[in-house]
Structure formats: structure tokens, C-alpha cells
Amino acid sequence: MHTLEIKKNIFWIGAVDFAKRNFHGYSQSPLGTTYNAYLIKDQKNIILDAVACDYAEVMLCRLAQVLPPEKVDYFVINHTEKDHSGALPVLFERCRPEKIFISAMGKRFLEAQFDTSSWPLQVVKTGDSVSIGSRSIHFIETRMLHWPDSMMSYIPEDTLLVSNDVFGQNIASSERFSDQIDSAFLLTAVKEYYYNIILPFSPLVLKTLDALEAMRLDIDMIAPDHGLIVRGRDQVAGMLAAYRALAEQKTPRRALILYDTMWHATERMAAAIAEGFAAEGVPYRIMQRSVVHHSQIMTEMADCGALVVGSPTHNNNMLPGLAEVLTYMHGLRPHNRIGAAFGSYGWSGEAPKLIHDRLASMEMEMPAEPLKLHFAPKHEDFCQCRDLGTAVARSLKTRTG
């Protein structure tokens, strides 16, 4: 089992989960994930973060290749969610560290999840540091990125930031570094992770990025707890810039038409709405809810400034799959979008208005009234659909200049 030295006497001792599909409630594309953990060998040997419980022995095996477990002096736990803390009871029994450094909220969360009565927990906060010999570990709290307990660890002597879930991606591969894969592929994975995990906390992301700039930290490597390690100053600068752009949620001039259908009438409406975007020169993507997962829809939203949602009326409501997507989306709090609603109906027709109100509750700009058509759309109805697409496209062009 291979253990990788990412910097001199700093080792990746994590695990790769190639089979993972459902991650924190979203189903990423079939790339699996990693649980990254790190070992620093110095006068005091220190482990930063852990892995899921199923991979405890994998982590111990990697550790043992470079250091006997009983020689570990300290743990740092930047985040206590089970994919990073599940292996801690096994690791503690094997390593018996002198100290476990953790945030105040992290201490509370560990105590709620495990029997920590014999664990030497030591609370740290932003500005605190610990010397381990030729190096020091500086702690930076990043509350709500994405849990209240979250923090980062910075090692100035190695210009290394261990960032826990921030800057992560779900990529399971034999590569460990961001410069070993295609940059567009990496950016898509970053967007997927951000828009399904970090998005609700975008204002805090911006504050954290500003704080890191104010600290004038010298960083040439970011080691997250999921995915690939970002190495090289250009790669680090690119990741920081990508996160700022994602957090700012500036409106891209592109539209997503999302629909579900029963007898293809709403599907035909979606195609006609797309013609309105095409006429205005606005790129678009059409997605049918019944064949895509809600996490794919959120990832698509990263590149779309407009969202047009359609459903037939079913039991005086929208179809359940679309209701589920809009509930998921509402919790992730996308900002700076333009929205619109449409759908066909047989005898009542509530769905478009319900969708309209749901999008408006996310503070989307709604430039058109909800469009509903009786049964299958006729030729003259397609003009209404195209006009809806045109109205949204023009609003999007106005907003994006």
C-alpha cells in the first residue's frame, strides 16, 4: 500500500473510496471520493485529520510504512464529521497521542459522537499555534465552512494549508495532485462540490478568502480533506480565484431549462422556450428531472444565470421529483438568478404558479408570469413559450451587460 510524501517529511496517509456514490445527500458523478489525512514527521509527530471508520486500517497501514503508530505525538482534527472522524477511536487506541487539538465546537461534537473521556482534547482558536520542532501549526477557525466546528491548519515553514472540506472535490483516482489531471475536469469537480456542499455559506467563503489575504499567508500547496491536493503557486491562485468566483455568484449568461413531463406536453413547451433563448443568442441546457439527479442540476446551476422550471399539474401540485429538487435547491440558497415557470395541465393547473412562488422565495428575479397551457400545446401556444424564453433571455442579457 503506497504512502506518498507530499513535502519533505509530510505524508498523505488517507484512503480512496472508488465505490462512493451518495455523498452527504448528493450523488456525484461516478468518481468516488477520497478521505485525506496527513502525517508530519518532526520532533513531535502529528496526524492531521482522519478517515471514515471503514478505512481505519487502511490509514494505519499507510502510517506504519513511515512511522510506528505509537510514535505519533499529536492529532489535529479540523472537522468532526464522520467521514473525517469515524476512524478516530481505532486511531486513538493504536497511537495514544499526548494531545488532540480541536476547535471548541469540535470538542463538543466529538464528545457527542464518541466516548472521549480518556482523550486528551485541547481546544484551539484562530491565532493559536503549536510548535512541533522545526515547524509550527497555526490554527484558523472557519466556522460553517461547512460545519460550526471547521478549522484549517497552516504550516508556514512548508507554505502548506490543510483546509479540511474547503477547496475539496470528489475525485477518486491514483493521482494525488491537481496538476496531474485536466484542468477543466478539476474545475467541474470543484463546482460540483461547491454547489452541493459549500454554496449556502458563500458569504462566509468571501470573508474567509479576505481573511486569508489579510493574513498574507504564503501558500504553495492546499491539502483538502477530499480529492486532489493543489500544488504550485499558479494552481493555488487558480483555486482561490475559482472559489471567489463561485462565492460571488455573478450571473453567467446561460440558462437552464428544467422540466418533468407526463405525456410530453410540458416537454414540448420546454423545447419551444429554448427557441426564445436561441433567438436571443443565449446558450441554454435542457434537463429532464426524471433522468438526472438533483446534484447534477445544482452543478449545472454553477454556470447558469437563469432557471426556467416546468411541470404538469399532478394532484393539484407539481410532480414530486421537481418538488424535491426545488426543496434541495432552496436549502442551498443560490443567489443572483432569474427564474420563470411553465407547465401543461388537464383540469386545474396549479403547478406553474407553485413553481413561480418557489423560485421567487429564493429571491430570483421573475420577469414573466407563470405560463400554463391546456393539454397539448397548439401552434399558437408555441409562440407563448418562445416569448417566455425571450423575456427571460433579455432580462439575463440586461443583467449581464
Give the catalytic positions in this structure.
Answer: 24, 79, 81, 83, 146, 165, 193, 226
CA 181, CA 225: separation in Å to the nearest integer?
Answer: 18
CA 194, CA 200: separation in Å to the nearest integer?
Answer: 9
How far is CA 10 from its chain centroid?
26
Residue that is written with C-alpha cell 401552434 in the block:
379
Residue that is written with C-alpha cell 471508520 in the block:
53
CA 392, CA 307: separation in Å to the nearest integer?
Answer: 9
CA 220, CA 246: separation in Å to the nearest integer?
Answer: 21
SS3 at position 137: strand
Residue that is written with C-alpha cell 487506541 in the block:
93
Nearest to 79 by CA among 20, 145, 8: 145
Per-residue HEC secondary structure of 31-95 comes to: CCEEECCEEECCCCCEEECCCCHHHHHHHHHHHHHHCCHHHCCEEECCCCCHHHHCCHHHHHHHH
Q: Is the dihedral of CA 312, 331, 369, 393 positive or negative?
A: negative
User: How would you class 258 by CB atoms within 10 Å of its CB: exposed for 0-12, middle for 13-18, buried for 19 or more?
Assistant: buried
